[in-house]
Chains A and B, each alone.
Chain A
Amino acid sequence: MGGDEAGPVPMDGHDFALWEKRVDALMVLCSSKGHFTVDGLRRALEDMGEDAFEKHSYYERWIAAVNQNLIEGGVYSLEELATRMEAVAQRGTTYGEAAHGAQPHSHDVHDHDGHDHD
């Protein structure tokens, strides 16, 4: 990529969304805990091919790379991921709804919460 020809530098920016910040946090935490290295992440990013840079946003590519490294490292299986992603989709049609549905799982101190997520 360095040295390639390319068009003008796009100056547009955006505020990071919560889900993007979470991808960033997961990347830092899993890396610091030794579940993958930056080299492993970059290999996964580069394996996506050049068109991934056109099709997907920065943190879309990063969650894909994080996920691939975690599966390769045996932290969870592809089947577990697929099952959970399907369950997430059932919770709602927006990120807020889908992530909110995770409360009883992610906050074990809140078991009294009592939401019915089915």
Chain B
Amino acid sequence: MPHDHHDHDHDHDHPHDHGLSPSGHPYRQDDDAPLTYWQRMEIAVRELLIEKGVTTAAEVAAQIDLMDSRSPANGAAVVARAWTDPAFKARLLENAGDASREMGFDIGPLHLIAVENTAQAHNLIVCTLCSCYPRNLLGLPPDWYKTRAYRSRAVREPRAVLAEFGLNLPDSTTIRVHDSTADMRYIVLPARPAGTDGWSEVDLATLVTRDSMIGTALPRSPQTVAQDG
């Protein structure tokens, strides 16, 4: 637990101070906006759960910290290793969950399937039911992933959706759309960009974006990286 849970409790001169939340996080901007019905419900539910002994404030804070520690950088490291280590890549395609755990990522019981982009086929992931996403590896999904528009259209007209993301694939490329469930989630293993021969695993990981692991983009190219400085 990186947060100090005590200091702010002694600030009696400022009972409504906006320094740290009860979980030790800085208050965010919305804390100054009028309290909504749903925020009241969250506070009430959380307090009742704590009083009933279902959970504790510390446990809630720890869970938030755990989710905050998960990010696309974890997936990028997995992809970069697959690009440089053929034996690891084979294990990743066999069982992406175990391969991620092997790299030390705490992904819980996540059942993860890696789908590989090739010269012939491009993969795209979606959850048409709700918002299933490899969150235990990549963190919380982007807002657009949870929208009706993406969930409805990704399976109906994936090429048009990809074009909205700026990805125009040739008609000769097969597009495979993978519909996630809570029990089975996907990650795209993008193709290693050309012009990266001899790159280290760490440098390669900088090319792997979140969207390239969802399939709405390709990894960055060495040229793009050079332009961005």
Contacts and interface: CB of A to CB of B under 8 A. Distances in A.
Interface stretch (B11-19, B74-82, B94-102, B221-229): B11-19
Given A92-B35, A94-B31, A18 B152 contact: no
Contact of A76 (B30, B48, B149): B48
Given A6-B152, A9-B149, A92-B35, A100 B41 contact: no
Contact of B60 (A8, A26, A75): A26
Nearest to A106: B57
Interface residues on A, range: 35 or more
Interface in B143-164: 143-144, 146-156, 161, 164
Contacts of A21: 64, 67-68
Nearest to B128: A2
Nearest to A66: B45
A106 B143 contact: no
A5 interface: yes
B52 A76 contact: yes
A9 B55 contact: no
Contacts of B128: 1-3
Given A18-B31, A42-B130, A25 B60 contact: yes
A94 B142 contact: no
Interface string A52-76: 0100111110011011001000011
Contacts of B31: 17-18, 94-96, 99
A45 B127 CA distance: 15
A95 to B, nearest CB: 5
Contacts of B23: 18, 22
Contacts of A14: 143
A2 B152 contact: yes
Contact of B67 (A25, A81, A92, A115): A25
A51 B140 CA distance: 24
A92 B16 CA distance: 9
Interface in B9-57: 9, 12, 15-16, 18, 21-23, 25, 27-36, 38-52, 54-55, 57
A75 B41 contact: no
B5 interface: yes
Interface string B113-138: 00000000000001011110000000
B202 interface: no
Interface of B: 5-6, 9, 12, 15-16, 18, 21-23, 25, 27-36, 38-52, 54-55, 57, 59-60, 63-64, 67-68, 126, 128-131, 140, 142-144, 146-156, 161, 164-165, 179, 182
Given A12-B143, A95-B31, 6 more contacts: A5-B152, A9-B164, A13-B142, A26-B49, A85-B40, A102-B47
